[in-house]
Amino acid sequence: MIPRRIFLAAAPLAGCTAAATPSAPPAPIAAATPVEPPMTSVSSVPFDRFVDGVKTEARRRGISQTTLAAAFSGVRPNQRVIELDRRQAEGGLQWEDYRDRIMVSPTRVQNGRRNYLENADLLRRIEQRFRVSPSIIVAIWGVETNFGGNTGGFKVVEALATLAWEGRRAAYFRTELFAALKILEDGHIRTDRMTGSWAGAMGQPQFMPTNFERLAVDFDGDGRRDIWDSKADALASIANYFARNGWRDGEPWGLAVTPPPGFSAAGADTSMRPMRDFARMGFRTEAGRPLPDGPDAQVVLPNRGNGQVFLGHHNLRVIRRYNSPVNYGLAVGLLSDRVG
């Protein structure tokens, strides 16, 4: 669900959500001191006892002993996961740095165009089925995992078990842990290949396990929904996510604009209006041309920006259902414009 006044919300840019981790990988933590800090947990239950309880409940849910034995082999509480969970940034980069250095960098644009062309036939077939723009699929693929090149190296079961045991958001991660076990039980991926982010976001689209259950698809027809190693399944799953969240085929997401003289960001009206209303108020494109026709829009202000203003359509809201921060949505939209 999108909170009210979403486009003015000061949501952080870093940190994993139900869907993904948008920006560059977190900065490395300083080298460990000779004495490793003790493992700490909000929970008073020893980790082994916690895992035993998870296994008991999993068996009641239909997970086989074979799957459980493989999934929890060698699993232990992961201190790095706890550190990353507790050290999520409260702030973030300025909009312009986030846009130009990370999300819409020249290298990412170049790689996006190459991947768009190399996968043109696959993307065309996905578009025919899901009615989602190939350029938005490629943009999400690019910002989430660098076009499949950086899907995360954490063992998903270990990361989720650590976070469910650690206690700060235990109920959420416990639900995700059971969903991950169901994925293994159903044979979509081998245990050794089920890797992802420190928070359990998986594969090329960076789906959390419950999102996998609802939205991952078997596009290559091999009987498995493999968002790790099957490009077809991964890209089609992104498209399905957008289709199921209300993407409007053929509509733009938004555009950068020059506001009229006297415009005040602090007092900006963010209600949805016809584009002709913005034209009458004196808004023009960032290049100074008249506004194009299009669906209703609202003023969108980047968080921690230095004055850039956008008009955002319904499809920008859909982008932000993949990952909620306003700067993430704007950057994905801009990247999609440059790669397609």
Closest CA to 228 of 199, 197, 181, 196: 196
Q: What is the DSSP string of 93-144?
A: --HHHIIIIIIT-HHHHHHHHHHHHHTHHHHHHHHHHH---HHHHHHHHHHH
Question: Rounded to whole angstroms, how far apart are CA atoms 113 and 115?
Answer: 6
Structural contact between residues 228 and 172, judged by C-beta atoms closer than 8 angstroms: no
Residues involved in catalysis: 144
Instruction: Report the amino acid identity of residue 5.
Output: R
The residues facing 300 across adjacent strands are: 310
CA distances (Å), 287 to each of 256, 283, 296, in order?
A: 9, 11, 21
Record the tokens describing residue 103, joined without a space. Answer: 């999300």
Structural contact between residues 123 and 147, judged by C-beta atoms closer than 8 angstroms: no
- The region, left, alpha or beta by phi > 0 then psi within -120 to 50, assigned to residue 264 is beta
If you compute the radius of gyration of the chain from its CA atoms, what whole number of angstroms results? 21
- Helices 170-185 and 156-166: crossing angle in degrees, nearest 10, is 150
